[in-house]
Homo-oligomer: A and B are copies of this chain.
Amino acid sequence: MSLLVVGTVAFDEIETPLGKTGRILGGAGTYVGLAASHLIQDINMSAVVGGDFPQKYLDLFSKRGIDIDGIDVIKDKKSFYWSGRYHNNMNQRDTLATELNVLAGFDPELPENYRDSRYLMLGNLTPSIQRKVIEQMNRRPQLICMDTMNFWMDTAWDDLLEVVSMVDVLAVNEEEARQLSGKYSLVQAACKIQSMGPKYIIVKRGEYGALLFHGEHKFYAPAMPLDTVVDPTGAGDSFAGGFMGYLTRQNDISFESMKNALIYGAALASFSVEKFGTERLLEITKEDIQDRLIEFVKMMSFSI
Please report A residues at the B interface, Cβ cutoff 8 Å. 88-89, 184-188, 205, 208-209, 211, 217-220, 222, 225-229, 256, 259-260, 262-264, 293, 296-304
Contact = CB atoms under 8 A, between A and B. Distances in A.
B184 A89 contact: yes
Nearest to A228: B185
Nearest to A304: B260
B303 A260 contact: yes
A299 B218 contact: yes
A225 B211 contact: yes
Nearest to A257: B302
Contacts of A296: 304
Nearest to A294: B304
B219 A188 contact: no
A228 B184 CA distance: 9
9 contacts: A185-B226, A187-B225, A208-B208, A219-B299, A219-B300, A256-B303, A259-B302, A260-B304, A300-B300
Contacts of A222: 209, 220, 222
Contacts of A226: 185, 187
Contact of A304 (B205, B211, B263): B263
Q: Which among A188, A222, A259, A296 has the greatest number of chain B C-beta atoms within 10 A?
A: A222
Q: Which among A88, A205, A264, A300 has the greatest number of chain B C-beta atoms within 10 A?
A: A300
Contacts of A301: 259, 300-301
A298 B186 CA distance: 18
Contacts of A220: 209, 222, 299-300
B259 A229 contact: no
A298 to B, nearest CB: 7
Contacts of A259: 301-302
A219 B227 CA distance: 15
B188 A227 contact: yes
A219 B187 contact: no
Given A88-B184, A226-B185, A304 B300 contact: no
A225 B186 contact: yes
A137 B1 CA distance: 65
Nearest to A178: B89
A262 B300 CA distance: 11
Contacts of A209: 208, 220, 222
Nearest to A213: B225
Contact of A227 (B187, B211, B260, B264): B187
A210 to B, nearest CB: 11
A179 to B, nearest CB: 13
A64 to B, nearest CB: 23
Contacts of A218: 225, 298-299
A259 B300 CA distance: 9
